[in-house]
Amino acid sequence: MEVTLIAGEMVVHASVPSGKSTGSHEALELRDADGGMETAIANVEGEIAALITSREWSSADEIDTALIALDGTPNKSRLGANAVLGVSIAAQRLFAEAAGVPLWKAIAERGGFSAAAPRLYLNFMNGGEHADFRLPFQEYIFVVGGKTSEAYAIAQDAFAKLGTVLKSNFNTEIPMGDEGGYSPKFDDIEKPFEMLAALVAEHSGTSIAIDAAANALRNDIGGYTLTGKDYTPDELRALYAGLIKKFPFHSIEDPFAETAMGDFAKLTAEAGEVIIVGDDLTVTNPERIKTAREAKAITAVLIKPNQIGSVKEAIEAVQMTRAAGWAAICSHRSGETDDTFIADFAYGIGAHGIKAGGLGQKERREKYERLVEIEKGAEAV
Ligand code: PGA
Ligand code: ZN
């Protein structure tokens, strides 16, 4: 979904990504029966355009409030989160441009955040639903902190090296998964971690993360199935505990299904320094983050604006996350566009990290490259 907003001389565009492994509580992405977005587009060109052109607006926040009221549902199911968010992002861009400030700065000011460079979470190996389950977990992530330009250079070097190692291991070219990471097939659960740990050993300030995306690992006997083997929730927790002990882990996202709040809390209690992240569990929804807070279920929240459907509510989700004393990690979606809004958002809120995929696809690299560009601009100020 792409939206163009015009005000006088100013023309801005925004495009909204789409997720494949979605949580059941996400805002609704409005699709036609054939998968198209004609209805959502008609909503933007019809009702939403009529609202936007009906009066003058003094802030992007005012526009978001009106859009949320116009939709009138708790999950944007009438107009579609894709329609509402497209206009919401375009409005944020327009007001930043009108004020003559970079997008990230307008977001920082809007939410009262201290802008800062996020750690890069690069999805080096894709599994789960993003790669026909050739690997059990959805994302095997190389985490790099520090100055973005240097972190990105380290990531490029490590990603190329992993490609060479995998190619010589399998004696053939390795396919790419949905998010621009390698997608080898290993039946040994620890093998991908051994490979990532070898890269981590070469670069200080780097570590390992996973997104287990465990909703997709559920079996019908109340547990989880990974590479053909069944695990009870307790056994899966023991598997994570073993991995954490053996490998240089930074964080684990969605270790259990979105309904298993108690299992999240148990793992969080025993994970020590390792951060436990909610994605499908919390779906960028301030109410669900509040519930997770009461359960002490996690220590970080994944922030995806299209899970909630407006910039305003995504900012509120970050504020709720920070009020809980937790880290906010911003994320792209598996179906991305060349819009780099999420990079500005991550920098503007001073996120703990940004997940923007592997380096094998242009629309993933563009997010990291935008962060390098922001760093240069911020240094010049
Ligand atoms: P999705 O994957 O965009 O397919 O939901 C990303 C994630 O689960 O973090
Ligand atoms: Zn996830």
Quick one: DSSP state of residue 255? Answer: -
For residue 369, pLDDT beyond 70: yes
Q: Is the CB of 211 under 6 A from ligand 1?
A: yes
Tokens of 356: 């923007």
Residue with tokens 């019809």: 46
Tokens of 220: 């019908």
Mean pLDDT of 229-239: 98
Q: Is the CB of 331 under 6 A from ligand 1?
A: yes
For residue 381, pLDDT beyond 80: no
Beta strand pairing status for 10-15 and 2-7?
Answer: antiparallel
pLDDT confidence of 159, banded at 50, 70, 90?
A: very high
The H or E element spanning position 252 is strand 249-253
Q: Is the CB of 334 under 6 A from ligand 1?
A: yes
In this prediction, residue 380 carries a pLDDT of 75
- CA of 24 from ligand 2 middle (Å) equals 13
In angstroms, the CA 245 to CA 266 distance is 16
Give the ligand 1 atom nearest the CA of 331. 9
pLDDT confidence of 78, banded at 50, 70, 90?
A: very high
Query: How does the average pLDDT of the chain come out, rounded?
Result: 97
User: What b-and-e string marks burial along 325-353, b requiring 16 or more CB atoms within 10 Å of the CB?
Assistant: ebbbbbbbbbebbebbbbbbbbbbbbbbb
Give 92's contacts (C-beta < 8 A, 6+ positions apart): 60, 103, 106, 107, 110, 311, 341
- CA of 253 from ligand 1 middle (Å) equals 11
pLDDT digit string, tens, across residues 268-305: 999 999 999 999 999 999 999 999 999 999 999 999 99
Give the ligand 1 atom nearest the CA of 18. 3
What residues are paired with 353 via a beta bridge? Answer: 119, 329
The residues that are catalytic are 179, 304
Site to substitute for ligand 1 among 132, 254, 256, 279, most atoms within 8 A of C-beta: 279
Site to substitute for ligand 1 among 301, 304, 361, most atoms within 8 A of C-beta: 304
Give the ligand 1 atom nearest the CA of 254. 8
Question: Which-ligand-closest: CA of 252?
Answer: 2
In this prediction, residue 234 carries a pLDDT of 98
**Which residue owns the Cα nearest ligand 1 atom 1?**
19
Ordered by where they begin, the domains of the chain are: 2-101 (3.30.390.10), 111-380 (3.20.20.120)
Q: Is the CB of 213 under 6 A from ligand 1?
A: yes
Give the ligand 1 atom nearest the CA of 253. 9
Mean pLDDT of 67-75: 97
pLDDT digit string, tens, across residues 125-150: 999 999 999 999 999 999 999 999 99
- CA of 201 from ligand 1 middle (Å) equals 28
In this prediction, residue 379 carries a pLDDT of 77
Question: Which-ligand-closest: CA of 22?
Answer: 1
